[in-house]
Structure 1
């Protein structure tokens, strides 16, 4: 019964979830993104991308992931965004080899996802200029390219019909669990009732 009530509450509490991802690539002055050039020295750009990531994340509430391969939606986040420098290594041997920041956004509608993504990318571009100006760079600036230019927004579930189906499944499971529990309790009490019945019979026979 309790599981059934919880499942019915889920029909009202669960919201739709939308997710998207985009890569912001840092481009050296007057060149293609450095890691597209065979033999290109893109180490300094990776370091610069890491500086941008730290400043963006320090000034805004973001959802950090243990591994940059993870997704916000997969981690159970339903409202927020993350900015990460992709790790091509593992958990114990990290390797940052691409001057790219990966932006992920999740929210309850496609419009909200688009708006949040635009704000985060704008923040990255602003910080990119700020850091260079602080270093006295006025020309031959590092710039960024966002790809894809129009990221696909993926629906992660949570429609009313899906929530009702889920609630029905939980109600059925709750009913089955209640039945099994009742049977087990009855079987547990049966030897005791049988013993009590025999004791009553013995007392009756003793009186007669």
Structure 2
């Protein structure tokens, strides 16, 4: 038998409307329970964000001191990677997303510091060819972000200087660091909530629809079970009366 799609959809719509009319209170309850989620998304605030590149500069012409770290251009990149590993050693970075093309503020992090060696490669192959570290800081206030940025930059300078001092490298032969920009600045990054609100709203509607229909099935099943028990009890009582008669 061939099914007429418009008629089928019309019957399904009428059935759903009937269920929602009967079990409207279940749909309303589901909406009320999930409304805090929509309000949270609607009221979500943005974050303050700051980004600085720490450039590692090889010393000019050899003046002496035996700085083997500057023997090749790649050595400066390796030195920057060493500083990055030393900084991130022991830090709890599990809650921070891995470095990507997305800024830290766009990943949903409200408080965080991320220091990494930029990847100039593509999706299938990494390429770390720049002797620089990227520092990203996010927070809920401008003061918090700038304070954390200054603390992080000071720590990176110290980690860059210490191994060279320990190796006895002369000051004029050391790898130095330069900040870009030289003065950190914080900007406010707005959070675009419209898409999230639409997504949460669709979820709420779906849950309300499902709650009404599942609730109707459960209530109807319980009602049928009670009706069956009642009918059997009445039949049993009627049979007992007939026997007594």
Q: Same fold (TM over 0.5)?
A: yes
Please classify the TM superposition score into its range, dividing by the shorter chain length: 0.5 to 0.7
Note the C-alpha offset of 1:171: 7.5
2:88 maps to 1:57: yes
Residue 211 of structure 2 aligns to a residue whose secondary structure is helix
Structure-2-length-normalised TM-score: 0.59
One of 109, 112, 124 as aligned partner of 2:141: 109
Q: Who is 1:83 aligned against?
A: 115
User: 2:207 and 2:43 mapped to 1: Cα distance?
Assistant: 24
Moved over 6 A (4+): 187-194
Q: CA deviation at 1:123?
A: 0.8
Q: What is the SS of the residue equivalent to 1:73? A: helix
SS of 2:163's partner is helix
Calculate the TM-score normalised by the size of structure 1.
0.68
Q: Which has the larger radius of gyration?
A: 2
1:46 to 66, 77, 85: 77
Task: Say what the alpha-carbon RMSD is for the aligned residues.
Answer: 4.1
User: Which blocks of at least 5 consecutive residues in structure 1 are unaligned?
Assistant: 32-40
2:181: which partner in 1? 148
Matches of residues 89-168 of structure 1 in structure 2 within 5 Å? Answer: 89-90=121-122, 92-140=124-172, 141-149=174-182, 150-157=184-191
Choose between structure 1 and 2: higher helix proportion: 2
How far is 1:5 from its partner? Answer: 3.8
C-alpha deviation, 1:128, in angstroms = 1.1
Q: Counterpart of 2:103 in 1: which secondary structure?
A: coil
In 1, the alpha carbon distance for the partners of 2:126 and 2:206 equals 48
Count residues with an aligned counterpart.
Answer: 190
Q: Does the CA-based 8 Å contact 1:46-1:99 persist in structure 2? A: yes
5+ residue gaps, structure 2, are 1-31, 62-71, 239-245
